[in-house]
Every structure is written in structure tokens, then in C-alpha cells.
Amino acid sequence: MTAITRIAREEWRLWLRSKTVVAAALIVVALLTATSVLTVHRIASEQSQRLEQQVAAEQTFFAQPDRHPHRMVHYGHYAFRPPPPLAMFEPGVDAVTGQSIFLEGHRQNTAMFADTKAAADLGGFAALTPAGLYQLLLPLLLIVLGHALFLRERESGTLAVMLAQGQSGVKLALGKATALLVVIAIFMIPLIAVAAYSVSLGESALAAFSLVGGYFAYLCIWGAIVLTASVILKQRAVSLGVLIFIWLFAALIVPRFAINASSVAIDAPGKIESDLVMLAEQRKLGDGHNAADPAFQRLQDQVLKQYDVETIEELPINWRGVVASYSEAELTELLNDYTEKRMGLEASQSRMFEWFGLASPTISVSSLSRALAGTDLATHHRFLRESEVLRFDFVQSLNQAHAEKLDYTTDINRNNDAASAQRARINSASWQVLDEFRFAPDSASKRLGRTALSLGILIMWLLLACVIVLLTARRVRV
Amino acid sequence: MTSPLEARSLSLVREGNTVLDDVSFTVAQGEIFALLGGNGAGKSSTLLTFLGFLEPSGGDILVNGTSVGSDVALARSAIAYLPEAAALYGHMTAYENLDYFLDLADKLASQAEIDAALERVALLVEARSRRLQSYSKGMRQKTAIALALLRETPILLLDEPTSGLDPIAIDEFHDLVKALAEGGQTILMVTHDVYGACQVADRVGLLRRGKLVGSFAAENNKRINTEAVHAAFAEREAV
Ligand SMILES: Nc1ncnc2c1ncn2[C@@H]1O[C@H](COP(=O)(O)OP(=O)(O)OP(=O)(O)O)[C@@H](O)[C@H]1O
Ligand SMILES: [Mg+2]
């Protein structure tokens, strides 16, 4: 056995013989297991629920009776975003963004069913997630276990004895680091189990185990910070105090500050705010329900010319459907402009937040974690975009049916009496225009690509922390 | 022939205070050199300098003719060091402590050899498998001495080795040190025990406030003159 593994083994002997350490470890393992089991359970039920809801929404839509096509445009449809398998470890932004959206004509609705309200009802406490435990609690436990790792030897005089046996400070530090590494490896077991389970549910192994690797690196950074403090500092209380301060700073203060700073620096208007501005512009486009709106005069000239007729009554297609389709396209372009602008700003905010990783590895690991789990803002944005495509497609298909399958005269006379209304309907077979929507996570390589910045910063932290440990250990004094 | 231990005009500053000032001495192979002096005289600091834990601010310190500063590892591999306070692990038994530190020193010792060493320092058999946190001061000291013996190095640096030992154990320890020197080991020990030092040492050095102020050697196979050393020691307050 080499000196390094021997030192590590003896450290473990000490920990195992100390009842407080064993008790603390057991509590953490219990907490970790309980949280993982609960989250796994919750996400699994949400996942099957959302898929069922999606299928049910499609079937309900298809099952609608013969109707006026525009009533179906307003009957609407739902798009659901089932949580990806790794959400059971890292629910990410899902808790605040909402995972379902009501799709209807002339409108882009906000995602609903967010848990935020539930969290607010509980006094604003966010749910305890496994990812949160890994990001916050485990570094704290490493601090408790390791703050005296090295300086205990100095305090008791055994450091001199160890060095006098011919061991270098670097070897002693590596031995202690190995002991801590084994602790970290044990901490990783619940995450590895969740990762393996998610792979069995269809998650990509690359993404799942990159997540494991990211957290391992993160905890190693903390291990190195803890070890450095215990090498440099001379008193336990000081070491513990300094490390807790670093923890408060890196794990709690900087992330909060980064969120505030990013939203102040890049001012993204809220959905409601931008909706108000948009409404004003929308009025200029004309009301698609009113085919006589002067805003459509140019369209009318163009269409009449195209079909070589004099009046809209002579057109082989339903003029109201043409207007509905035209105005939907115009409106959607405007809506998309605004949405893209807003999502662009939100993406820049989240990018800026990521750069704060330079001040705290906790930020980097949390960004990395969300991106790999597929619960990041980018994934939510993709959900919004894809559901918008779904919305636009079915609305336009219905408008096309309106234009082609419903006679213009029948249509404008639909409000005369009950019989006219009865006539202004089209066959329910036309509802089959709805595309099946199954929101799926990005490919693993795409998700991994999104972690580049955070991963880079995390690796930089790791290298820096290791170099500092070695440099300080080289000049260790008895 | 080079001496195993040599201090050449050694000066040492610790946190701004001059702790050793132009100290020179050599210890020959197989010799027992005892360093006497009052509290804070610089005895322990001298040993730490030989181990490379403290760097001389002037002069040089040599182990087997090589400057410690140029090869600390070489010096440490030639030296077994008994620190001032027996620094071993309370959560381990004597056996576990010895096994661990010998392993760190890359020194293989059989169970029989370990028991033999513990026998030489007279550590009770039933205590050997008990954790050191239940030991008395003397028992801990005995374990630490056993570790120094087991290293089987050519040089021993002992800082107050008899502190905490009972009178019988002290006598036994003196016999042990003499036997080791006769076996060829070089011994530099620090002590407050003037009488004991004069009994066991070949030479006694008197350190006062960082200066070597006197040196007494046994002549004609007789013991060092205890009264003379005592008198020299007592002079310290006169400065
Ligand atoms: N860790 C330290 N840092 C700074 N100065 C120290 C340190 N340890 C000791 N000194 C100073 O060095 C001087 C010599 O101390 P040293 O421990 O060598 O004395 P000593 O002769 O062994 O005394 P004692 O008989 O009490 O063990 C003292 O003045 C002391 O104040
Ligand atoms: Mg001393």
C-alpha cells in the first residue's frame, strides 16, 4: 500500500470511530434517499399524467362533432411538456415556467400549471430537490468533515511526526485528498442510481453520466477548497468559519446576486407588459373576424385579380376563410416577433447568469445540471416554439377548411336562424388536421453543447483548486 | 570522517526573535550528546532545524556531512525523531500507531519486532491493544520511544525523552540509550534532567538564550561532573 492510500485509510478509520461523523453521514444519506425517492415518484407520475393528458386532448379534439370551422379555432387544443427523465434529479425551471399551454386562434397563451403558486402557498419555500441537496448540502457536509483534515495533525503534533517519517507535505495532502475523494464517491451513489434509472427510462447515457461527472467535479472543487483551508489555517474554528463564509458566499449569496444583476442589466419585459404593447400594434392589422375591415382591402383586390372575378361572392373559395387565414398569418408574425425578442432577452439573462459561475462554481453546476437534465430555459423556449408551430398549423388548416369547405353565402347567413346555423358547418373529419404533439428532450450532444460555458468554468475551477492545494501543501509548515 | 550531526555557526530567527545565535557543535557516531538549558533556551528548535522543519537564518546544519537544506528527505530518512510531546493518535491502539507511522517511514517491522520494542520500553502487554486516549502520559511516551527504536535509523533526536516516565522507567531508558549508542547509533537528546544527562551522556552542551555557553565531556572513563554542570546551569540568572 502506498503512503497516500494509507493516509486516506487512516483518515477513514478516524471518521468511522467518531460517532458524530457517522451520525451526520447517516442523516445525510437518509435525507438524500428520501428526497430522491419522493422526487422520482413525483416526476414519474407527472410524466405519465402529461402524456395521458396530451393524448386525451388530441382525442377530445378529434371527437368534436360537425361544426363551423372557426368554432374549432376557438375550441382550441393543449400542448403538454412531460418532464424529461432526469427531471427527477433536477426539476430545473419547470417549477416556475409551467408545462402546459392552451393553443387557440389569434393568441399565444402563457404556459400554465406552474408549481409556483403551490410553493407560494407554502410560504415561498421551494421544493427540496436532489440537485439542490447536491449543490448546497453536500459541500456543507464536506466542510464539516474536512475543515480540520490537515490542521488537526498540526494541532496534535502528529504532522511533525508524519513529516519526520520522510513523507512530503504534498503526499500527506494527496492522502487526505484521497480520503475526501472516497467520501465524494460515496455521495455520488444516489445520483448514479438516479442516472442509471433515468437511462432505463430512455434517457441518453451520455447526458445522464455527464451529469454525474459534473456533480463529481463540483464536489471535488469543494473538497479542494476545504483541504486548502485546512492546510493554510492554524485553528479549527477559523478554518470552519472561513469555509462557512465561502459556502454562504458561493452557494447562497452569489447566485441570488447573479439573478438580480442579470435581470437588472438585461431588462426583459414581462409577458403582460409586452402583450399590452403588442395589442396596440395588433389593432393596426385589422380584425380577422370582420372580413369587411378596411385593413383587408388590398388583400381583396389581389385575390379578386388572382381568380379573375369582380366580387367576393363570385370567388370559388370562402372569402371569410381567406381573411381569417391571412390575418392569422400576419398576427402570428407579429406575435412571434415579440415572443422571439422576449425569449432572446431571457436567453441573454441566463447567459449572463452563467458567467457569474466565475464567482461561484455553484452557479456553473446548476446551469450545467439544468441543461443536461433538459429542464433549462432553452428547452422551455423550444417547447414554446414547437407548441406555437402546432398552434399555427392547426389554426391555419382549419382556416383553409373554412375557405374551401364552407360556402361563402352559407357562411355569412349563418346567424339568420337555427337552420342556417345548422347549414354553416363542415364535416368533423376535417378536425383530423391536428398534428400529434409529443415533446421530446434535445439530443444528448445538443444538451452537452449548451453546457460548454458552464463546463469550461467548472473545469477551470477544478484545475485552479487542485493547483492551489498542491502549492500550499508543498510549503506546509509544522 | 564526517560527523553524523553538525551545527556550524547556526543562527535561527523565529517570528522575528533570535532563537539560536552562532551555535556550533558536532556529534560523533555512537556518541550521546545531551543538550541542557532552561525553558525557551532553544533546545527543541535545534532539533527541528536538524529535521529541516526550521530553516537556519545563518550558518549551516549538516546530517552525515550533507546540508539539510539541500536534501531534507535524506536527512529525515537517517533520523528517528521523538517530539517534545508524544504526538500519536488517541483513536488508535499502540499497535495501530506503530504500524501506521512505520508504514509512512517505509519501514517493515514484524509483529515480533514491534512486541520486542514495546518490551524494551516496558509497555504493559495488556495496554498495547488499547487506544492511546486511555493511556497515561508515560505510557504514551513509551510508545513514542518504541517508534523511534523501530525506525532503526543511524541517528536519534530525542526531545525530553524521560518526561513523564517513572524513576524505574527512567533508569531503564538510560540503559537502553547507552545500549543503542554502543550499537553505533548517534544520539542527540534534549533534557532538563541534569543528573540523568551527566549519567548517560558522553558530552553535555549547555544552551542559554540561544547561545552554547558550555560543554562538558566525560574524562578518563568517568562520569561528567554533575556539580560543575549544575553550577554552570545556575549561573543563568546572573546575566
Ligand atoms: N512555534 C513557535 N513560533 C515562534 N517562536 C517559537 C515557537 N516555538 C518556540 N519559539 C521560541 O523559540 C525560542 C526557543 O524555543 P524552544 O522551544 O526551542 O525552547 P526549549 O529550549 O525547547 O524550551 P523548553 O525547555 O521549554 O522546551 C523561545 O524563545 C520560543 O519563544
Ligand atoms: Mg523544548
pLDDT, tens digit, 9 for 90 and up, residues A88-110: 899 888 777 778 888 888 888 87
Average pLDDT over residues A298-305: 86
Residue A419 is assigned to a structural domain of this protein: no
Average pLDDT, chain B: 91
Pocket around ligand 1: residues whose beta carbon is below 6 Å from it? B 14-15, 17, 19, 37, 39-45, 84
Q: Does position A120 have pLDDT exceeding 60, yes or no?
A: no
pLDDT of residue B116: 96
Distance from CA of A98 to the nearest CA of B (A): 54
Res. A114 pLDDT band, cuts 50 70 90:
very low
Domain residue spans of chain B: 5-78+153-238, 88-152
Res. A116 pLDDT band, cuts 50 70 90:
very low
Distance from CA of A252 to the nearest CA of B (A): 36
Q: Does position A330 have pLDDT exceeding 90, yes or no?
A: no
A13 contacts in B (CB within 8 Å)?
A: 91-92, 96
Provide the Cα torsion A468, A473, A477, B4; round to 10°: -140
B104 contacts in A (CB within 8 Å)?
A: 3, 6-7, 162, 165-167
pLDDT of residue A97: 78
Average pLDDT over residues A440-449: 93
**Which has the minimum average pLDDT: A263-272, A305-314, A339-348, A412-421?**
A263-272
pLDDT of residue A124: 42
pLDDT of residue A23: 87
Give B188-219 pLDDT, tens digit per residue: 999 988 888 888 999 999 999 999 988 888 77
Question: Does residue A82 sit in helix, strand or coil?
Answer: coil
Residue A326 is assigned to a structural domain of this protein: no
Least CA distance to A477: which residue of chain B?
B53
pLDDT of residue A115: 46
A14 contacts in B (CB within 8 Å)?
A: 89, 91
Complex ipTM > 0.85? yes
Average pLDDT over residues A428-443: 86
pLDDT of residue A323: 87
Q: Which CATH code of 3.40.50.300, 3.50.50.60, 3.90.170.10, 3.40.50.2000 fits the domain covering B5-78+153-238?
A: 3.40.50.300
Of all residues in chain A, the percent with pLDDT exceeding 90 is: 42
Compute the distance from residue B28 Cα to the ligand 1 centre, in Å: 26
Facing B106 at nearest CB: one of A14, A158, A166: A166
Strand partners, B12: B20
Distance, in Å, from the CA atom of A211 to the CA atom of A215, rounded to the nearest integer, reads: 6
Q: Does position A429 have pLDDT exceeding 50, yes or no?
A: yes
Distance from CA of A171 to the nearest CA of B (A): 10
Res. A1 pLDDT band, cuts 50 70 90:
low
Distance, in Å, from the CA atom of B116 to the CA atom of B146, rounded to the nearest integer, reads: 9
Give A224-252 pLDDT, tens digit per residue: 999 999 999 999 999 999 999 999 999 99
Query: What is the number of alpha carbons within 13 Å of residue A401 lying toward its C-beta?
Result: 25
Residue A32 is assigned to a structural domain of this protein: yes
Selected for mutation to probe chain B from A11, A19, A161 (highest B CB count within 10 Å) is A161
Between A417 and A209, the more confident residue is A209
* String of DSSP letters for A270-332: PHHHHHHHHHHHHHHH--TT-TT-GGGHHHHHHHHHHHT-SSGGG-SS-HHHHHHHHHHHHHH
Q: Does position A126 have pLDDT exceeding 70, yes or no?
A: no
When divided into structural domains, chain A yields a total of 1
pTM of the model: 0.89
Compute the distance from residue B61 Cα to the ligand 1 centre, in Å: 18
Residue A237 is assigned to a structural domain of this protein: yes
**Which has the minimum average pLDDT: A21-25, A118-122, A317-321, A426-430?**
A118-122
**Which has the minimum average pLDDT: A33-47, A164-178, A251-265, B223-237?**
B223-237
Q: Does B55 touch chain A (CB under 8 A)?
A: no
Indicate the pairing of strand A100-104 with strand A77-80: antiparallel
pLDDT of residue A122: 46
State which residues of chain B have pLDDT below 70: 220-222, 236-239
Q: For A133, which DSSP code?
A: I
pLDDT of residue A117: 44
Question: Is A446 exposed, middle or buried (CB count within 10 Å of its CB: 0-12, 13-18, 19+)?
Answer: middle
Question: Does residue A426 sit in helix, strand or coil?
Answer: strand
Residue A415 is assigned to a structural domain of this protein: no
Q: Does B73 touch chain A (CB under 8 A)?
A: yes
Q: Does position A271 have pLDDT exceeding 70, yes or no?
A: no
Distance from CA of A236 to the nearest CA of B (A): 17
Compute the distance from residue B166 Cα to the ligand 1 centre, in Å: 26
Residue A197 is assigned to a structural domain of this protein: yes
> Which of A81-90, A279-288, B138-147 ranks highest by mean pLDDT?
B138-147
Q: Which of B14, B163, B212 to mutate to test the pocket of ligand 1 (most atoms within 8 A of CB)?
A: B14
* Of the candidates B212, B172, B203, B163, the residue with the CA atom closest to the CA atom of residue B20: B212
Q: Determine the structural domain holding residue A215 and report its residue range.
A: 3-267+353-377+433-474
A→B contacts (Cβ < 8 Å), by residue, are 1, 3, 6-7, 10, 13-14, 17-18, 156-158, 160-168, 477-478
Of all residues in chain A, the percent with pLDDT exceeding 70 is: 95
Compute the distance from residue B11 Cα to the ligand 1 centre, in Å: 14
pLDDT of residue B221: 63
Strand partners, B33: B188, B203
Selected for mutation to probe chain B from A10, A13, A14, A18 (highest B CB count within 10 Å) is A10
pLDDT of residue A127: 65
Q: Does the beta-carbon distance from B100 to A6 stay under 8 Å?
A: yes
Q: For A386, which DSSP code?
A: H
Q: Which of B12, B15, B35, B44 to mutate to test the pocket of ligand 1 (most atoms within 8 A of CB)?
A: B44
Residue A324 is assigned to a structural domain of this protein: no
Q: Does the beta-carbon distance from B81 to A161 stay under 8 Å?
A: yes
Chain mean position to CA B228: 23
Give B89-109 pLDDT, tens digit per residue: 999 999 999 999 999 999 989
Residues near A146 by beta carbon (within 8 Å), at least 6 away in sequence: A176, A180, A223, A226, A227, A230
Instruction: Pull the grid cell for residue B26.
Output: 558536532
Distance from CA of B228 to the nearest CA of A (A): 35
Facing A157 at nearest CB: one of B76, B83, B102: B83
